Amino acid sequence: MKNIVVLVSGGGTNLQALIDAQKRGELRGGKISCVISSRPDAYALVRARENDIPTRVIPRKEYHDNASYSKALHEALYQEYADLIVLAGFMTILDKSIINAYRNRIINVHPSLIPSFCGDGFYGLHVHEKALEKGVKLTGATVHFVNEICDGGPIILQKAVEVKNGDTPEILQKRVMEQAEWKILPEAVSLFCQDRIKVTNGIAYITE
């Protein structure tokens, strides 16, 4: 059984999708063993506690730079025997030491079809604001491995979602979450835990 450590900063609806999938027996080969939050007030912590999942808080505010924050995080991941790290609305960029130590073992969910609307500054609601500004008719979500390039790692799964007339960023965000993120994140986690994702030359392949 692989230990899944979920990193969060906010509401935690993607964490909830993982918890629900686990309850339905759909995270085959894995178990959410710990939730780590960068913010003490993240509602995601409540969701974890309500489901008897151990939690840790490593407040980003208490560290002056990314390197010292990553060091503390790295230590915690080691202590938790993390096999897979899931970034589920985690709003801090990881530094090289963690990315190297957990190469192709860190999964992120991003609320657009990468390579559109991604990279520095594209997070949360901003992503949907930009998609609406551009007038795209299709957007969606991507689950990918994390590498040194922001939102640039091997793509595992993607799902398209329609943009509709009159959408606000909030309405579009909700549709993307419901129709894409909450489905493909648990699916990718389950595939990983069954050793069914192989990365060759920077491309992720799903195996039978």
Cα dihedral value 8, 14, 16, 22, nearest 10: -110
Residues whose CB is less than 8 angstroms from the CB of residue 75 and which lie 6 or more positions away in sequence, other chains included: none
d(CA 30, CA 110): 22
Between 30 and 111, CB nearer to ligand GAR: 111
Mask 47-86, x = binds ligand GAR (CB under 6 A)?
Answer: ----------------------------------------
Residue (84 or 177) nearer to ligand GAR, CB: 177
Per-residue tokens: 3: 């230990």
Q: Measured between alpha carbons, how far is residue 44 from residues 37, 152, 158, 184 in Å?
A: 8, 26, 24, 19
- Could you say which of 66, 80, 105, 124 contacts ligand GAR (CB under 6 A)? 124
110 tagged catalytic: yes
Alpha-carbon span 9 to 91, nearest angstrom: 6
Nearer Cβ to ligand GAR (110/130): 110
The correct pick among 4, 6, 89, 143 for binding ligand GAR (CB under 6 A) is: 89
Size of the site for ligand GAR (CB under 6 A): 16
Residues 160-199 that bind ligand GAR (CB under 6 A): 177, 181
- Residue ranges binding ligand GAR (CB under 6 A): 10-14, 44, 88-89, 109-111, 123-124, 127, 177, 181
Residue positions annotated with a catalytic role: 110
